[in-house]
Chains A and B, each alone.
Chain A
Amino acid sequence: MSPIKITTPLDDEIILKLKTGDEVLISGTIYTARDAAHSRLVKLIEENKPLPFELKGQIIYYVGPTPEKPGEVIGSAGPTTSYRMDKYAPLLLEHGLKGMIGKGKRSAEVKESIKKHKAVYFGAIGGAGALISKTITSSKVIAYEDLLSEAVRKLTVVDFPAIVVNDVYGGDLYEEGREKYKNKYSK
């Protein structure tokens, strides 16, 4: 099956079409945030203060790129492990976040939150930072510059490759994939 092309911001109509295992190519604006930035974003929400960017319909990419060389848009920029953001993700989803891109398992609470707030968790290929960086056409730090590689960036992406891991229907690619290939090595 050829990849599904999607453009940000995401609405429920797009979200409902995406199923676990679907390959997607994402275009448009996405935002970056890792542990430290998440902790600050959640604090702002809890204090009823404005966020550095509008969450509604947006995708957050869990990434801390390498510094760009002169003339480069961005350095190497693959996903980081997502479970570290599990503590913060449900509140962001409650406030309109529609997508997350990372790698690795999510908690039961995050998966429940994905269903409840109609969102999606995409997996990108960890360790493919050079390849992925080619789909990023602009990058600008918009908040928390003091966090260096962990600052919040606004990225423009064209055909960013990812795969639907957790969909709105409760699907989980990691569980389904493992079940399918269990004990197949010896066969």
Chain B
Amino acid sequence: MRIIKSEEISNAVKNLIIHSSINLPEDTHNGLKAAFEREISEQGKTVLSKILLNAEIAKNESKPLCQDTGLAVFFVEIGKEVSVEGKNLTEAINEGTRLGYSEGYLRKSTCDPISRKNVGDNTPAIIHYEFNDGEKIKIMYAAKGGGSENMSALKMMRPSDGKEGIIDFAVETMRSAGPNPCPPNIVGIGIGGNFERSAILAKKSLFRKLNEPNVDTELAEMEKIIFEKINNIGTGPMGFGGICTVLGVHITKEPCHIASMPVALNVECHSHRHSEIIL
């Protein structure tokens, strides 16, 4: 059994968070550059060029890309031959979150849902665990902003709604979101599982590299249709009008109940900050 010290995990999480807050990932950067080339609206082009300039400033001045440095969301894959010494894994990740948001001068955005009192250290992180073979721990992190998360939706659809129903739901959700979630967006869609599982699948879909093809050809075709339909809405960069409303549509599916067809759509902003580390 391989042993990893919890401090090592906290430290890795801290560094992931700080790095992600100021460095736009390569896939996001390429997606935005391609959108800039494709956009026909002058206003939209200006917005995209400023978003790219913002990324340069953030990197050069070590300043957060966006003031909403997000809730800390993690997908963690744990090998069966590895054990954590010291704090348990959840505590270790929360400690890394605390350190990252404090030492990185990032905004603390967690609060009590009723009193609205700020927790003060951006915990608790939202952590999803999966288990596999091997002796490694893979930690995937995303800084998830509130503006785009607020435009997300979940619908328990009827099986008879079919693929067309799913496509319509995705397009209508993005039409109603309009300029609010900082377009151009990335759309994560989870189909199947049950109520909560579809939402987790939608979130996980956002971790796929932008425009990395879906291995499922049927889902890839649906992604293409939804991508075109959303870009035909006309919302454009920051909603000022244009043909680049989404940078990518990512779908994941899992088996569901014979009576159900849960569909969740998670909206991600253009400041698509995600990174991972394998320990």
Bound: A149/B116 CA distance, A: 13
Docked Cα-Cα span, A179 to B53, in Å, equals 28
* Contact (Cβ within 8 A) B239 A177: yes
Chain B interfacial residues counted at CB < 8 A: 51
Chain B 219-253, CB-CB to A under 8 Å as 1, else 0, gives 00000000010011111101111110000000000
Contact B43 A177 (CB under 8 A): yes
Given A66-B107, A75-B63: A186 touches B179 (CB 8 Å cut-off):
no
Main secondary structure of the interface of B (DSSP, over half): loop
Residue numbers in B under 8 Å from A126 (CB-CB):
66, 147, 182, 238, 269
Q: A66-B107, A127-B270 are in contact. Are A182 and B234 (CB under 8 A)?
A: yes
Q: How far is the CB of B29 from chain A (nearest CB, A)?
A: 13
Assess A76 versus B63: contact at CB under 8 Å? Given A127-B270, A131-B53, A186-B228. Answer: yes
A:146-162 near B, CB below 8 Å = 147-150, 161
Q: Which of A80, A125, A129 contacts B64 (CB 8 A)?
A: A129
Scan residues 126-151 of chain A and give those whose CB is less than 8 A from a CB of chain B.
126-131, 133-134, 147-150
Verify if B41 is at the interface (C-beta below 8 Å from A).
yes
**In the complex where A81-B147, A148-B108, A149-B108 touch, is A181 in contact with B41 (Cβ < 8 A)?**
yes
Contact A75:B105 (CB < 8 A) given known A66-B67, A103-B147, A103-B180: yes
* Chain B residues with CB below 8 A from A76, complex form: 58, 63-67, 69
* Residue pair A130, B147 in contact (C-beta under 8 Å): no
Q: Is the CB of B118 within 8 A of A174?
A: no
B271 at the interface (CB under 8 A from A): yes
* In the complex, A101 has a CB within 8 A of chain B: no
CB-CB contacts of A160-187 with B at 8 A, as 1s and 0s?
0101000000000110111111111110
Q: How far is the CA of A15 from the CA of B203 in the complex (A)?
A: 43
Interface check A90, CB cutoff 8 A:
no
Interface residues of A in 18-50 (CB under 8 A from B): 21, 35-36
- On whether the beta carbons of B241 and A173 are closer than 8 Å, the reply is yes
A69 to chain B minimum Cβ distance, whole angstroms, is 5
The reply to whether A183 and B234 contact each other, CB–CB distance below 8 Å, is yes
Residues of A within 8 A of B181 (CB): 81
Residue A88 at the chain B interface, CB threshold 8 Å: no
Residue in A81, A130, A173, A185 whose beta carbon sits within 8 Å of that of B240 in the complex: A173
Q: Which of A69, A130, A163 contacts B105 (CB 8 A)?
A: A69
Docked complex Cα distance between A25 and B9 (Å): 45
| B100 interface hit (Cβ, 8 Å) | no
Question: CB < 8 Å: which of B41, B58, B67, B150 contacts A177?
Answer: B41
Smallest Cβ distance from B127 to chain A, in angstroms? Answer: 23
- Complex CA gap A156/B71 in Å reads 29
Using Cβ atoms and an 8 Å threshold, which residues of chain A touch B270?
Answer: 127
Q: Does A99 contact B (CB under 8 A)?
A: no
Contact yes or no, A125 B50, CB < 8 A: yes
State whether B108 touches A183 (Cβ < 8 A): no
| In the complex, residue of chain A having the shortest beta-carbon distance to the beta carbon of B40 | A184
Evaluate contact between A178 and B107: CB separation under 8 angstroms.
Answer: no
- Flag if A125 contacts B179 (CB, 8 Å): no
State how many angstroms separate the Cβ of A114 from the closest Cβ of chain B: 16
Chain B 104-134 interface 0/1 with A at a Cβ cutoff of 8 Å (1 = within): 0111110000001010100000000000000
Contact (Cβ within 8 A) B240 A163 = yes
A176 to B236, CA, bound (A): 12
Across the interface, B178 reaches (CB within 8 A) one of A66, A133, A178, namely A178
Which residues from chain A sit less than 8 Å from chain B, CB to CB? 21, 35-36, 63-69, 75-78, 80-81, 83, 103-105, 123, 125-131, 133-134, 147-150, 161, 163, 173-174, 176-186
Q: Give me 19 other A-B pairs in contact (C-beta within 8 A), A125-B238, A148-B120, A178-B233 excluded.
A: A75-B107, A76-B58, A81-B180, A103-B147, A104-B178, A105-B178, A126-B182, A127-B54, A129-B54, A129-B63, A130-B65, A148-B108, A174-B179, A174-B235, A177-B241, A181-B234, A181-B236, A181-B243, A185-B228
Instruction: List the 7 closest pairs (A to B, CB-CB), nearest first.
Output: A177-B241, A104-B180, A181-B234, A185-B231, A182-B234, A126-B182, A76-B64
Q: What are 8 A-B contacts defined by CB distance under 8 Å?
A: A76-B65, A76-B67, A129-B64, A131-B53, A148-B108, A150-B118, A178-B236, A181-B243
